[in-house]
Amino acid sequence: MLKCQSPWLLVLVTHALSLPDIVLFVADDVDAESFYRTSPQIQELANSGIKFERALSPSPLCTPARYSLLTGAYAARAAPDNGASVRHVFFNTRIAGGPTIATELKRAGYKTIFAGKWHTGCTAPGKTDWGPKETWENAVRERHEQDRATIARVGGFDHVRSVYGGNVDSAQLLPKEWSVHNPEYQMREATHVISRVKAKNASAPFFLYFA
């Protein structure tokens, strides 16, 4: 049995070979029942795993809820946003380092994978004047790589793929042509990493945070 040092998270393991793979889905603006019933694949995963049927979100807002889920801490404990104290919890809760669910699972022997929406602090400032198409395409690629590096560093993930930094319908985040959620792309990238992890070590457990 292993007890991690962080007081907010207890990881119990019996043996490295018996560690289960973990897939954590985070969905916006949908209740759990609808999310579960409308996807046969999700239903199959749930029926073959563990279901938490009495879990409550620590916040009705996206960013602070994600902050608490990832760190195990109240959102009011987040790092200051733009130098101002977080006194009014809103979309200002940024992860700036410290223990996360990914760092603690890594200590327990997991390979940690992130795919999808982060929305708890990004690297590049907002931009509205994108210029010619080839200019903003390069800018979006550059921002994606910056966000991947940031999430790996402050989130504690081994592999970071197919990132949405924030809400994709924001004019300050992406050009209109890129403002679309693409779960097929996200899942393709995530399964590619899982296949690589398992190819290197079939018994290695993985943790996938898919948002």
pLDDT in tens, 45-102: 778 877 777 777 788 888 888 889 999 988 877 766 555 555 667 666 778 788 999 9
Distance from C-alpha of 100 to C-alpha of 89, rounded to nearest angstrom: 19
Considering the entire predicted model, what is its pTM?
A: 0.78
Beta pairing class for 111-117 and 159-164: parallel
**pLDDT confidence band for 147 (50 / 70 / 90):** confident
Q: What are phi and psi of 11, to 5 degrees?
A: -110, 120
Q: Contact at 8 Å (CB) between 200 and 207? A: no
Statement: residue 8 has pLDDT above 80: no
Residue for token digits 């991690």?
Answer: 4
Statement: residue 169 has pLDDT above 60: no
Structure tokens at 144: 């994606």
The DSSP element (H or E) to which 207 belongs, if any, is strand 206-210
Distance from C-alpha of 26 to C-alpha of 207, rounded to nearest angstrom: 13
Statement: residue 133 has pLDDT above 60: no
Distance from C-alpha of 211 to C-alpha of 203, rounded to nearest angstrom: 25
Q: Contact at 8 Å (CB) between 187 and 115? A: yes
Top-ranked range on mean pLDDT: pick from 4-8, 37-41, 119-123, 128-132: 37-41
**pLDDT confidence band for 168 (50 / 70 / 90):** low
Q: Report, as residue numbers or ranges, the catalytic residues.
A: 62, 119
Number of H helices, E strands in the chain: 6, 4
**pLDDT confidence band for 206 (50 / 70 / 90):** very high
pLDDT at 130: 53
Q: Give the CA diameter of the chain.
A: 57
Distance from C-alpha of 136 to C-alpha of 141, rounded to nearest angstrom: 8
